[in-house]
Amino acid sequence: MQQDAQNQKQFFLGRIRFLVRKHVPHLRKIILLAIFYAALAFLYSSIGFLHPEVSHFHEYTGPKLFIEILGHFSFGFIASIPFWDLEISLLTGVAAVFIDTDHILSALGLNVSGRPDHSFLFVIVSAIILFYVVMRSNFPNSFLAKFVFFAPVVVFSHIAYDIFAVPLGSSSTFQLFIPFSFAEVSFPYDYWILFETLALVLSFAGYLFARRFGGKVEESTSITKFTREIDESRVEEQRRTTAGEARS
Judged by CB under 5 A, the stretch of 34-42, 96-104, 178-186, 235-243 that binds Zn ion is 96-104
Stretch that binds Zn ion, among 42-50, 59-67, 146-154, 156-164 (CB under 5 A): 156-164
As measured in angstroms, the least distance from the Cβ of 62 to Zn ion is 18
Alpha-carbon distance of 146 to 213, in angstroms, equals 10
Q: How far is the CB of 125 from Zn ion (least distance, A)?
A: 17
Site string for Zn ion, 159-198 (x = CB under 5 A): ---x------------------------------------
CB atoms within 10 A of CB 106: 21
**Contact between 102 and Zn ion (CB under 5 A)?**
no
Q: How far is the CB of 173 from Zn ion (least distance, A)?
A: 11
- Segment near Zn ion (CB under 5 A); pick from 42-50, 55-63, 87-95, 98-106: 98-106
Of 83 and 156, which CB lies nearer to Zn ion in the complex structure?
156
Q: Which is closer to Zn ion, CB of 18 or CB of 174? A: 174
Shortest reach from residue 162's CB to Zn ion, in Å = 4
Which of residues 100 and 196 has its CB atom nearest to Zn ion in the complex? 100
Nearer of residues 120 and 131 to Zn ion, judged by Cβ: 120
> Which residue number places its CB atom closest to Zn ion?
162
For residues 157-190, one letter each, b for 16 or more C-beta atoms within 10 angstroms of the residue's C-beta and e for the rest, the string is bbbbbbbbbeeeeeebbbbbebeeeeeeeebeee
Stretch that binds Zn ion, among 7-15, 55-63, 83-91, 154-162 (CB under 5 A): 154-162
- Residues in contact with Zn ion by CB under 5 A are 100, 162
